[in-house]
Amino acid sequence: MLVEILYFDGCPNHEAARELVERVSGDFDVEPEIRIVEVADVKAGERLRFLGSPTVRVDGRDVEPGADDRDRFVFGCRLYQLASGPSGVPDERWLRDALKRG
C-alpha cells in the first residue's frame, strides 16, 4: 500500500498530515510505504493533479470523498471541510476508510 502526502515548501500542515497517516496506519497494523512528494510549481501541480497542500492519497486515490472528480488544481494551502469545521488536514475517518479499501 502506498500513501502519498503531496505538499509545497512552506506548507504548515504537511507534517501534521504525516503524523496522522503514521498514527492511523499503526492503529490498523498496516505498514504502508509513505512517500512525501514536494510539488515544486504550478506545472508540477497540474501534472500531479494537486488539490492543495497537503493532499493525502492512498494507492493513488485522494482520501477526501469526491475529491478525485475535481479538475481544478491548486498551488496553495488545502482547506478540508470537516463536520467540526475547516481543517488543514483530512478527516481521520476518511483516512481510515481509504486504508481499509487498500
What pLDDT score does 28 carry?
Answer: 79
Any idea what the CATH number is for the domain that residue 86 is in? 3.40.30
Distance CA 54, CA 6 (A): 5
> Does the structure show a pLDDT above 90 at 29?
no
Q: What pLDDT is recorded for position 11?
A: 92
Q: Please tell me the total count of domains within the chain.
A: 1
Question: Which pTM does this prediction carry?
Answer: 0.93
Spatial distance between the Cα atoms of 10 and 88, rounded to a whole number of angstroms: 13
Domain range for 8 is: 2-101
Torsion sign (Cα): 54, 58, 62, 63: negative
Q: Region 24-30: what's the mean pLDDT? A: 83
